[in-house]
Chains A and B, each alone.
Chain A
């Protein structure tokens, strides 16, 4: 179809199948309450076919929607036995979902504007205390303390769930830790590891943390004896890390 060729937006650009569907509907200036299912299904499938690499986690959701579209299309082709008024339009629940999602997308845009505006107003709470050199020397926790705390915590945890096999990468975990540190001034070591879902995730997180400490991007400190260990960004690592 010409239109898809001339205006290609990558699949990665969309938040999910509903986002893609809304885009296709808007592009064709279709009334959301009266979607020509056959046309939309075809365009939707064409979009999926463009994909070269397949990321199974994400792809599954797009494929699920494709199946739903095909199902609705088949429902609409079925001969109708009942009186049309009493029958529910097979598209109805999809339309509801699209409208709900459209609203979420609208709110998302408004929240982004508010975020931009609000971030220009600095509050004292949003700051991490500026660290002095002396502080750093005094408080750094040794790697043995850290490892000890970690293994003690892992022994206590019995609630690890094994739901599905998930891949964790050190790079992603490092990004996660850094973004958390930029958001909150510090990360509580115990709290953070208590939130990990599996032993595998905990190990990857712990390794990532060690890498960050070694790279002198973050620092692990214990303000007082017997207090929980806190992880902070090093003050001099703020710049160039965003």
Chain B
């Protein structure tokens, strides 16, 4: 098969700062038949998953992007002088869970779900661009309504909202936690 196609796709993903969608790849490489493009991407992903490379192409946030392989994390942090990465607080994770499963949602609804005032956490998440304001609810006070942003998906390595944990996965982890407590 023509290596040019595969190489071109590689170059496009390399230069993209955001996850590059299949649609965009097809638009740019419109002289190639779509099926061939899909096949070439598959091959590209395969070749990167081999042991010969320190980087890989992952499918995240609805598109393709380059990332380093997890096993080289400590050396990368050494190079960048970052001792450890900043992690979201439990409150932030809870708020994100509430939004992810109940979106579009207002601040009052989030606070009710969590049983605690979530305005501060919400603000932090907005600043981190993990959530976004999508409008106002047509109810008294016209409260703002929130949704998860694209960065939410890539932050957690999800390709789409459909990849959020299922009921079974949630039940499983709750069961595990129970066992740890006992």
Contact = CB atoms under 8 A, between A and B. Distances in A.
B114 interface: yes
Q: What does DSSP make chain A's interface, helix, strand, loop or mixed? A: helix
Contacts of A115: 87-88, 93, 155-156
A119 B68 CA distance: 10
A57 B118 CA distance: 12
Given A18-B114, A104-B114, A121 B174 contact: no
Contacts of A103: 97, 101, 170
Contacts of A17: 115-116
Contact of B70 (A61, A108, A117, A195): A117
B137 interface: no
A105 B94 contact: yes
Interface in B149-169: 154-158, 164-165, 169
A90 interface: no
Interface in A100-147: 100-112, 114-125, 127, 130
Q: Chain A, interface size: which category? A: 35 or more
Contacts of A180: 127-128
Contacts of A3: none
Interface in B90-128: 90-91, 93-94, 96-98, 100-101, 112-117, 123-124, 126-128
Contacts of B129: 184
B65 interface: yes
Nearest to A179: B86
Contact of B81 (A65, A108, A114, A239): A239
Contacts of B69: 121
A224 interface: no
A46 to B, nearest CB: 19
Contact of B93 (A16, A26, A57, A112): A112
Interface residues of B, number: 58
B134 interface: no
Q: Which interface residue of B71, B93, B158, B181 has the most chain A CB atoms within 10 A?
A: B93
Contact of A26 (B66, B76, B100, B181): B181
A79 interface: no
A106 B173 contact: yes
Contacts of A117: 70, 157
B18 interface: yes
Contact of B116 (A15, A105, A130): A15
A157 interface: no
B177 interface: yes
Contact of A107 (B56, B73, B100, B155): B100
A103 to B, nearest CB: 6
A32 to B, nearest CB: 11
B65 A123 contact: yes
Given A106-B170, A122-B67, A101 B18 contact: no
8 contacts: A26-B181, A97-B113, A102-B174, A122-B67, A123-B65, A179-B124, A180-B127, A242-B86
In the A-B complex, the 4 residue pairs with the closest CB atoms? A120-B70, A16-B116, A107-B97, A18-B115
Interface of B: 17-18, 56, 58, 65-71, 73, 76, 80-88, 90-91, 93-94, 96-98, 100-101, 112-117, 123-124, 126-129, 154-158, 164-165, 169-171, 173-174, 177-178, 181
Interface of A: 15-19, 26-27, 57-58, 61, 65, 97, 100-112, 114-125, 127, 130, 176, 179-180, 182-184, 192, 195, 235-236, 238-240, 242
